[in-house]
Protein backbone atom coordinates (compact mmCIF):
# COMPACT_ATOMS: atom_id res chain seq x y z
CA UNK A 1 0.00 0.00 0.00
CA UNK A 2 1.46 3.36 -1.04
CA UNK A 3 1.47 6.04 1.65
CA UNK A 4 -0.22 9.14 0.23
CA UNK A 5 -0.30 12.53 1.90
CA UNK A 6 -2.46 15.42 0.81
CA UNK A 7 -2.30 18.97 2.11
CA UNK A 8 -3.96 21.04 3.22
CA UNK A 9 -6.76 18.93 4.68
CA UNK A 10 -9.24 21.71 4.00
CA UNK A 11 -9.27 25.11 2.38
CA UNK A 12 -11.73 27.99 2.33
CA UNK A 13 -11.25 30.66 -0.33
CA UNK A 14 -13.22 33.50 -1.81
CA UNK A 15 -14.60 33.42 -5.32
CA UNK A 16 -11.91 34.56 -7.74
CA UNK A 17 -8.97 33.43 -5.58
CA UNK A 18 -6.47 31.02 -7.05
CA UNK A 19 -5.43 28.07 -4.96
CA UNK A 20 -3.28 24.97 -5.00
CA UNK A 21 -3.02 21.65 -3.19
CA UNK A 22 -0.23 19.13 -2.75
CA UNK A 23 -0.13 15.36 -3.09
CA UNK A 24 2.97 13.50 -1.83
CA UNK A 25 3.66 9.84 -2.61
CA UNK A 26 6.54 7.36 -2.65
CA UNK A 27 8.53 7.73 -5.86
CA UNK A 28 9.49 4.04 -6.11
CA UNK A 29 7.51 1.71 -8.41
CA UNK A 30 5.61 4.68 -9.79
CA UNK A 31 3.32 4.20 -12.79
CA UNK A 32 0.88 7.09 -12.71
CA UNK A 33 -0.76 9.69 -10.51
CA UNK A 34 -4.52 10.17 -10.59
CA UNK A 35 -6.50 13.24 -9.50
CA UNK A 36 -10.24 13.05 -8.80
CA UNK A 37 -12.86 15.59 -7.82
CA UNK A 38 -15.66 14.48 -5.48
CA UNK A 39 -18.61 16.80 -5.15
CA UNK A 40 -21.15 16.30 -2.39
CA UNK A 41 -23.92 13.84 -3.33
CA UNK A 42 -22.09 12.83 -6.50
CA UNK A 43 -19.53 10.17 -7.37
CA UNK A 44 -15.79 10.88 -7.68
CA UNK A 45 -14.89 12.10 -11.15
CA UNK A 46 -11.49 11.69 -12.79
CA UNK A 47 -9.65 14.92 -13.53
CA UNK A 48 -6.20 13.83 -14.66
CA UNK A 49 -4.01 10.77 -15.02
CA UNK A 50 -0.34 11.75 -15.21
CA UNK A 51 2.60 9.51 -15.92
CA UNK A 52 5.75 11.39 -16.91
CA UNK A 53 8.06 13.42 -14.71
CA UNK A 54 7.47 17.08 -15.49
CA UNK A 55 4.04 16.32 -16.94
CA UNK A 56 1.59 19.20 -16.83
CA UNK A 57 -2.10 18.81 -17.64
CA UNK A 58 -4.88 21.36 -17.88
CA UNK A 59 -8.66 21.20 -17.90
CA UNK A 60 -10.29 24.62 -18.02
CA UNK A 61 -9.19 26.54 -14.93
CA UNK A 62 -7.68 23.46 -13.29
CA UNK A 63 -4.15 22.28 -13.95
CA UNK A 64 -1.74 19.79 -12.40
CA UNK A 65 1.98 19.17 -12.40
CA UNK A 66 3.95 16.04 -11.57
CA UNK A 67 7.40 15.41 -10.10
CA UNK A 68 8.03 11.67 -9.99
CA UNK A 69 11.63 11.95 -8.78
CA UNK A 70 10.71 13.70 -5.56
CA UNK A 71 7.22 12.20 -5.35
CA UNK A 72 4.77 15.07 -5.44
CA UNK A 73 2.04 16.60 -7.58
CA UNK A 74 0.38 20.00 -7.38
CA UNK A 75 -3.19 20.78 -8.38
CA UNK A 76 -3.94 24.42 -9.21
CA UNK A 77 -7.28 26.14 -9.56
CA UNK A 78 -7.23 29.56 -11.16
CA UNK A 79 -10.01 32.01 -10.29
CA UNK A 80 -11.95 29.64 -8.02
CA UNK A 81 -15.72 29.49 -8.44
CA UNK A 82 -18.36 28.18 -6.00
CA UNK A 83 -18.91 25.19 -8.29
CA UNK A 84 -15.27 24.18 -7.65
CA UNK A 85 -16.24 23.35 -4.07
CA UNK A 86 -15.48 19.66 -3.65
CA UNK A 87 -13.00 17.22 -2.18
CA UNK A 88 -9.97 16.72 -4.39
CA UNK A 89 -8.39 13.26 -4.14
CA UNK A 90 -5.09 12.03 -5.45
CA UNK A 91 -4.04 8.41 -5.87
CA UNK A 92 -0.69 7.05 -7.08
CA UNK A 93 -0.70 3.94 -9.21
CA UNK A 94 2.07 1.37 -8.97
CA UNK A 95 2.66 -1.92 -10.69
CA UNK A 96 0.14 -4.59 -9.81
CA UNK A 97 -1.71 -2.64 -7.16
CA UNK A 98 -5.06 -0.93 -7.10
CA UNK A 99 -5.20 2.80 -6.52
CA UNK A 100 -4.65 3.93 -2.95
CA UNK A 101 -6.29 7.29 -2.27
CA UNK A 102 -5.19 10.08 0.01
CA UNK A 103 -7.61 11.64 2.49
CA UNK A 104 -8.26 14.48 0.10
CA UNK A 105 -8.33 18.26 0.28
CA UNK A 106 -11.76 19.69 0.97
CA UNK A 107 -12.21 23.00 -0.87
CA UNK A 108 -14.96 25.49 -0.11
CA UNK A 109 -15.33 28.51 -2.39
CA UNK A 110 -17.67 31.19 -1.14
CA UNK A 111 -19.13 34.01 -3.26
CA UNK B 1 -23.18 6.13 -21.42
CA UNK B 2 -24.92 4.20 -18.68
CA UNK B 3 -22.09 4.65 -16.19
CA UNK B 4 -21.47 2.54 -13.09
CA UNK B 5 -24.60 1.77 -11.12
CA UNK B 6 -24.89 0.59 -7.55
CA UNK B 7 -27.82 -0.82 -5.68
CA UNK B 8 -29.18 -0.01 -3.18
CA UNK B 9 -28.33 3.66 -2.64
CA UNK B 10 -28.99 3.39 1.08
CA UNK B 11 -29.17 0.46 3.45
CA UNK B 12 -30.04 0.52 7.14
CA UNK B 13 -29.55 -2.72 8.99
CA UNK B 14 -29.33 -3.99 12.51
CA UNK B 15 -26.07 -5.21 13.95
CA UNK B 16 -25.54 -8.88 13.24
CA UNK B 17 -27.51 -8.96 10.01
CA UNK B 18 -26.01 -9.79 6.62
CA UNK B 19 -26.14 -7.30 3.75
CA UNK B 20 -25.35 -7.57 0.06
CA UNK B 21 -24.63 -4.77 -2.38
CA UNK B 22 -24.56 -4.92 -6.14
CA UNK B 23 -22.44 -3.07 -8.68
CA UNK B 24 -22.93 -2.97 -12.44
CA UNK B 25 -19.80 -1.61 -14.15
CA UNK B 26 -19.49 0.07 -17.52
CA UNK B 27 -19.96 -2.81 -19.93
CA UNK B 28 -16.61 -2.70 -21.71
CA UNK B 29 -14.60 -2.32 -18.49
CA UNK B 30 -12.94 -5.52 -17.34
CA UNK B 31 -11.65 -4.16 -14.03
CA UNK B 32 -13.96 -3.63 -11.08
CA UNK B 33 -13.04 -2.18 -7.69
CA UNK B 34 -14.68 -1.89 -4.30
CA UNK B 35 -13.75 0.95 -1.94
CA UNK B 36 -15.11 2.07 1.42
CA UNK B 37 -15.22 5.67 2.59
CA UNK B 38 -15.83 6.95 6.10
CA UNK B 39 -16.10 10.52 7.30
CA UNK B 40 -12.88 12.49 6.91
CA UNK B 41 -11.11 9.75 5.02
CA UNK B 42 -10.41 9.09 1.38
CA UNK B 43 -11.73 5.97 -0.31
CA UNK B 44 -10.13 2.90 1.30
CA UNK B 45 -9.36 0.02 -1.04
CA UNK B 46 -11.20 -3.25 -0.34
CA UNK B 47 -10.75 -5.50 -3.36
CA UNK B 48 -10.59 -5.60 -7.13
CA UNK B 49 -11.37 -7.94 -10.02
CA UNK B 50 -10.05 -8.34 -13.49
CA UNK B 51 -12.86 -10.06 -15.34
CA UNK B 52 -14.04 -12.76 -12.91
CA UNK B 53 -10.70 -13.13 -11.10
CA UNK B 54 -10.26 -11.44 -7.74
CA UNK B 55 -6.70 -10.14 -8.03
CA UNK B 56 -6.20 -8.24 -4.83
CA UNK B 57 -7.87 -8.03 -1.45
CA UNK B 58 -6.98 -5.58 1.28
CA UNK B 59 -5.35 -7.11 4.34
CA UNK B 60 -7.59 -4.81 6.36
CA UNK B 61 -10.63 -6.66 5.10
CA UNK B 62 -12.04 -9.04 7.65
CA UNK B 63 -13.36 -12.51 6.85
CA UNK B 64 -16.88 -11.15 7.19
CA UNK B 65 -16.47 -9.40 3.83
CA UNK B 66 -16.68 -11.31 0.57
CA UNK B 67 -16.97 -10.17 -3.01
CA UNK B 68 -17.80 -12.00 -6.20
CA UNK B 69 -17.90 -11.28 -9.89
CA UNK B 70 -19.08 -14.62 -11.22
CA UNK B 71 -19.39 -13.86 -14.93
CA UNK B 72 -16.99 -10.96 -15.15
CA UNK B 73 -19.84 -8.47 -15.38
CA UNK B 74 -21.70 -7.30 -12.25
CA UNK B 75 -20.24 -7.78 -8.78
CA UNK B 76 -21.67 -8.29 -5.31
CA UNK B 77 -20.16 -7.34 -1.97
CA UNK B 78 -21.52 -9.18 1.06
CA UNK B 79 -20.93 -8.26 4.68
CA UNK B 80 -21.85 -10.94 7.19
CA UNK B 81 -22.72 -10.27 10.83
CA UNK B 82 -22.54 -6.51 10.37
CA UNK B 83 -21.00 -4.34 13.07
CA UNK B 84 -21.49 -0.64 13.75
CA UNK B 85 -17.97 -0.02 12.47
CA UNK B 86 -19.08 -1.22 9.06
CA UNK B 87 -21.19 1.91 8.63
CA UNK B 88 -19.70 3.71 5.64
CA UNK B 89 -20.16 4.60 2.00
CA UNK B 90 -19.29 1.63 -0.21
CA UNK B 91 -18.08 2.71 -3.62
CA UNK B 92 -17.73 0.64 -6.73
CA UNK B 93 -15.60 1.68 -9.69
CA UNK B 94 -14.65 0.19 -13.02
CA UNK B 95 -11.90 0.79 -15.55
CA UNK B 96 -10.25 -0.60 -18.61
CA UNK B 97 -7.37 -2.98 -18.07
CA UNK B 98 -4.78 -0.52 -19.37
CA UNK B 99 -2.43 1.01 -16.84
CA UNK B 100 -3.27 4.69 -16.42
CA UNK B 101 -6.96 4.19 -17.16
CA UNK B 102 -9.07 6.40 -14.88
CA UNK B 103 -11.61 4.84 -12.55
CA UNK B 104 -15.30 5.50 -13.15
CA UNK B 105 -17.22 5.48 -9.90
CA UNK B 106 -20.80 4.69 -9.05
CA UNK B 107 -22.84 6.82 -6.64
CA UNK B 108 -22.14 4.41 -3.81
CA UNK B 109 -24.21 2.55 -1.25
CA UNK B 110 -24.55 4.24 2.14
CA UNK B 111 -24.66 1.58 4.87
CA UNK B 112 -25.86 2.39 8.36
CA UNK B 113 -25.61 -0.32 11.00
CA UNK B 114 -27.72 0.35 14.08
**What pLDDT shows up at residue A70?**
94
Q: Residue B40 pLDDT more than 70? A: yes
Contacts of B40 in chain A (CB under 8 A): 103
**What pLDDT shows up at residue A56?**
96
Q: In this predicted model, what pLDDT tens digit does every residue of B57-102 receive, in sequence order? A: 888 788 999 999 998 899 999 999 999 999 999 999 999 988 788 9
SS3 content of chain B, % helix, strand, coil (to 5): 5, 50, 50
**What pLDDT shows up at residue A94?**
81
Contacts of B56 in chain A (CB under 8 A): 96-98
Contact predicate B76/B68, CB 8 Å: yes
CA distance A43 to chain B (A): 5
Contact predicate A105/A24, CB 8 Å: no
Q: Residue A1 pLDDT more than 60? A: no
**A87 vs B41 pLDDT, higher one:** A87
Distance CA A83, CA A86 (A): 8
Nearest to A32 among B40, B45, B99 (CB): B99
Residues of A with CB under 8 A from a CB of B: 1, 4, 6, 31-32, 34, 36, 42-46, 49, 51, 89, 91, 93, 96-104
B48/A44 Cβ within 8 A: no
Contacts of B2 in chain A (CB under 8 A): none
Contacts of A104 in chain B (CB under 8 A): 42
B106/A103 Cβ within 8 A: no
Q: In this predicted model, what pLDDT tens digit does every residue of A82-105 receive, in sequence order? A: 999 999 999 998 876 788 899 999
**What pLDDT shows up at residue B37?**
94
Q: Nearest CA to B56 among A82, A56, A17, A95?
A: A95
Q: In this predicted model, what pLDDT tens digit does every residue of A25-63 receive, in sequence order? A: 988 888 899 999 999 989 999 999 999 999 999 999 999
**What pLDDT shows up at residue A77?**
98
**What pLDDT shows up at residue B59?**
84
Contact predicate A47/A32, CB 8 Å: no
DSSP B85: G
**B34 vs B98 pLDDT, higher one:** B34
Nearest to A103 among B42, B56, B105 (CB): B42
Amino acid sequence: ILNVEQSPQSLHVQEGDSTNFTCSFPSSNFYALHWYRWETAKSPEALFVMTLNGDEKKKGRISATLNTKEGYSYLYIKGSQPEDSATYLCAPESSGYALNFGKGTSLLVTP
Amino acid sequence: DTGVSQDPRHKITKRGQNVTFRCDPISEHNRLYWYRQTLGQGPEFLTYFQNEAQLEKSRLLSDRFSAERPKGSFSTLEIQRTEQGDSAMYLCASSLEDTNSPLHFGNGTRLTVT
